[in-house]
Amino acid sequence: MALKPVSPTDEFVKGLWRDNPVFIQVLGMCPALAVSNTAINALAMGAATTFVLVMAGLSVSLLRKFIPKEARIVSYICIIATFVTCVDYIIMALSIELHRALGAFIALIVVNCLILGRSEAFASKNKPGRAMLDGLGMGVGFTFALLFIGIVREVLGSGTLFGVSMFPDGFQTWTIMVLPSGGFLAMAGWLLIVNWLRQKEDDAARRAAEAES
C-alpha cells in the first residue's frame, strides 16, 4: 500500500492536536502533572522538553545509519541524557529560582517516554529535517498541554496568572488545585473536554461519509 506523502507542515501540525502527546497519546504524564502548578513552570518545562525533543530528533536521525539495531535504545538514552544535562546546566545558569522550582524534574526529562518514543518511532526512520519538525511539533503540543493544565491550576489555586493577580481581593483560592491532587483533577477535566471534542469530530466525519455514499 502506497502511503500518501506527508507534507513537512503536516509533520509539525500533527503534534499539536491529532497526535497531541499529553491529551491523546497520554505520554509524558509525570512532568505534565508535577510541574504544572503554575503557568510559568509549565512553560519552562515545555520549552526544556521541546529543546531536548528537537535536538534528540536531529541527532538520532543523523546517526540512524550508524547505530546498530541491538544497541539502539541504549544509544538513544545516551543522546537524550546528554541534551538533558545541557538543559539542566543552561536553566541553572539562567535562573537559579526556576531551577529550584522545577527541581529534579529537569533531570527526569531523560525518562520521559515521549522523547524515547519519538526517537524510536520517528527520528530513527526519517531524514534530519523531518525529525526536527516532528520533534518541534510534539514539543509545542506538549508545551500547550502543560500550559493549559498550568493555567487552570494557577488561576484557580493561587488566583494569579503568570504571577499577576486575576481576581478582586475577596476571592477564595482553591488550594487543592496547587496540591498534587489538583494536578490529577485538572488533567481529568481537560481530558474530558478533549474526548468530547474528538467525539464530535468523529461524528461529523461519519455523517459526512454517510452523506457522500
Binding site for another protein (CB under 8 A): 26, 29-31, 33-34, 74, 77-78, 81-82, 84-85, 88-89, 104, 107-108, 110-113, 116, 176, 179-185, 187-188, 191-192, 195-196, 199
User: Which of 80/133 has CB closer to another protein?
Assistant: 80
Q: Which position has the grid cell 469530530?
A: 201
| Alpha carbon distance 183, 141 (integer Å) | 18
Instruction: Provide, rounded to whole angstroms, the least separation between the CB of residue 98 and another protein.
Output: 17
Residue 167 or 184: the one with the smaller Cβ distance to another protein is 184
Q: Which C-beta is closer to another protein: that of 137 or that of 183?
A: 183
Q: How far is the CB of 181 from another protein (least distance, A)?
A: 4
Helix (H, G, I), strand (E, B) or coil at 85: helix
Coil, strand or helix: which one is 167? coil
Residue keyed to cell 461519519: 206
Shortest reach from residue 142's CB to another protein, in Å = 15
Q: CA-CA distances (angstroms) from residue 53 to 23, 49, 140? A: 18, 6, 10
Amino acid at residue number 61: S
Q: Which is nearer to another protein, 40 or 191 (CB)?
A: 191
DSSP state of 53: H
Cell of 191: 481530558
CB of 33 to another protein, least distance (A): 4
